[in-house]
Amino acid sequence: MFHQMYEEKYMRFYGGKCKAVTFSYDDGVKADKRLVEIFDRHGLKATFNLNSKLFDCERWHGRMDEQQTYITFYNRPHEIAMHGARHVSLDKVPLAEGINELVSNKTYLENRFGRIVEGLAYAYGAYTEDILRVLPSLGVKYARTAKSAYGFSLPDNFLLWDPTCHHTDERLFACAEKFIAADPAGELKHREPLLFFVWGHAYEFDDNGDWDRMETLAAQLGGRQDVWYATCGEICAYKTAYDNLRFSSDGERVYNPSCLSVWIELRGRTYEIKPGNTVQFDKEI
Ligand SMILES: [Zn+2]
């Protein structure tokens, strides 16, 4: 019997899961510490986008100093990413200055935290076509915008990665409920994996007196067996590994040249393709 739906291949996230959740928070402020505690309590993972020349600007939304930043993020499961050295709007400085903003930011974070830093959140959500062109040569693998997609798709271009929505968005909880209720593996169409991606600034919870908003969201999204909790960088790296899978001409065999296990669904079955392995798909269900 011919089932067209079963002949299509779908990426599944780590562990074969259909859904992933990530968070991206900007500016390296004191309130990040409380936010990290909430994320940790619910098993959520996040990316924190840090500037590197504004540590003493406490008046600017209560930024952490260098030592507080280090203590908050060193050796934690969360990712640290670029947000520009001085939080300048990349569309309002010469290209060379913009490049310097990113390279100096990346170099500082990498040396301070002993990691490779490959993510970026555009300060003010701003970028130019010239910046977009140079990001790959600067070692930037993904860059988050400040534009709400109100959807759960992975981006076509990781350098223009629109999150689902900001945490103050009035549609936040409606989006979360829709995401939780969705079941891509049980659908005839729309079987693509889903990502729920929230961004913001932790100081906004202090300013608006609404930490309960994040507590509610974290409780709603956390602890789910069908969700992969990952940083933005982990999701980008995973999707890249998936995109680098090599298939035989008839699509019945796949080779994974990457160093990450990758999961794929075909004909109602989910396969783990381990690093360096070649897998033959079953013909029948
Ligand atoms: Zn910012």
Q: Are both 231 and 250 inside the same structural domain?
A: no
Nearest Cα residue to 118 out of 128, 130, 131, 105 = 105
Could you tell me the distance, in angstroms and rounded to a whole number, from the CA of residue 28 to the centre of ligand 1?
A: 9
Q: Identify the pLDDT of residue 2.
A: 45
Do 230 and 14 touch, CB atoms closer than 8 A? yes
Q: Identify the pLDDT of residue 82.
A: 98
Could you tell me the distance, in angstroms and rounded to a whole number, from the CA of residue 181 to the centre of ligand 1?
A: 32
pLDDT digits (tens, 9 = 90+) for 42-60: 999 999 999 999 997 767 8
Give the DSSP letter of residue 42: T
The residue assigned the tokens 């209560």 is 62
Q: Are both 122 and 262 inside the same structural domain?
A: no
pLDDT digits (tens, 9 = 90+) for 109-133: 999 999 999 999 999 999 999 999 9
Could you tell me the distance, in angstroms and rounded to a whole number, from the CA of residue 50 to the centre of ligand 1?
A: 8
Say what the pTM is: 0.96
Let me know if residue 95 belongs to a domain. Answer: yes
pLDDT level of residue 61 (50, 70, 90 thresholds): confident
Let me know if residue 112 belongs to a domain. Answer: yes
Q: Are both 160 and 192 inside the same structural domain?
A: yes
Could you tell me the distance, in angstroms and rounded to a whole number, from the CA of residue 88 to the centre of ligand 1?
A: 9
Could you tell me the distance, in angstroms and rounded to a whole number, from the CA of residue 166 to the centre of ligand 1?
A: 13
Could you tell me the distance, in angstroms and rounded to a whole number, from the CA of residue 85 to the centre of ligand 1?
A: 11
Residues with CB under 5 A from ligand 1 (ion): 26-27, 123
Q: Are both 269 and 158 inside the same structural domain?
A: no
- Pair type for strands 19-26 and 46-50: parallel
- Overall domain count for the chain: 2
Let me know if residue 7 belongs to a domain. Answer: no
Could you tell me the distance, in angstroms and rounded to a whole number, from the CA of residue 136 to the centre of ligand 1?
A: 22
Q: Are both 238 and 254 inside the same structural domain?
A: no
Q: Are both 236 and 270 inside the same structural domain?
A: no
Return the biggest CA–CA distance within the chain. Answer: 68
Q: Are both 88 and 104 inside the same structural domain?
A: yes
| In the predicted structure, residue 3 carries a pLDDT above the cut 60 | no
Q: Identify the pLDDT of residue 285.
A: 58
Q: Identify the pLDDT of residue 5.
A: 52
How much of the chain, in percent, has pLDDT values that exceed 70?
97
Could you tell me the distance, in angstroms and rounded to a whole number, from the CA of residue 49 to the centre of ligand 1?
A: 8
CB atoms within 10 A of CB 134: 14
Q: Are both 258 and 190 inside the same structural domain?
A: no
Q: Are both 196 and 248 inside the same structural domain?
A: no
Q: In 74-202, which residue ranges form alpha helices assigned H by DSSP?
A: 95-113, 129-134, 172-181
Q: Are both 144 and 69 inside the same structural domain?
A: yes
CA 28, CA 87: separation in Å to the nearest integer?
11
- Pair type for strands 278-280 and 253-255: antiparallel
Do 135 and 120 touch, CB atoms closer than 8 A? yes
Domain of 190 in residue numbering reads as: 17-242
CA 194, CA 212: separation in Å to the nearest integer?
25
CB-based contacts of 243, cutoff 8 Å, min separation 6: none
Could you tell me the distance, in angstroms and rounded to a whole number, from the CA of residue 24 to the centre of ligand 1?
A: 11
Q: Are both 114 and 198 inside the same structural domain?
A: yes
pLDDT digits (tens, 9 = 90+) for 181-234: 999 888 877 899 999 999 999 999 999 999 999 999 999 999 999 999 999 999
Q: Identify the pLDDT of residue 57.
A: 79
What does the block give as tokens for 97?
Answer: 């200055």
Do 213 and 34 touch, CB atoms closer than 8 A? no
Q: Are both 91 and 159 inside the same structural domain?
A: yes
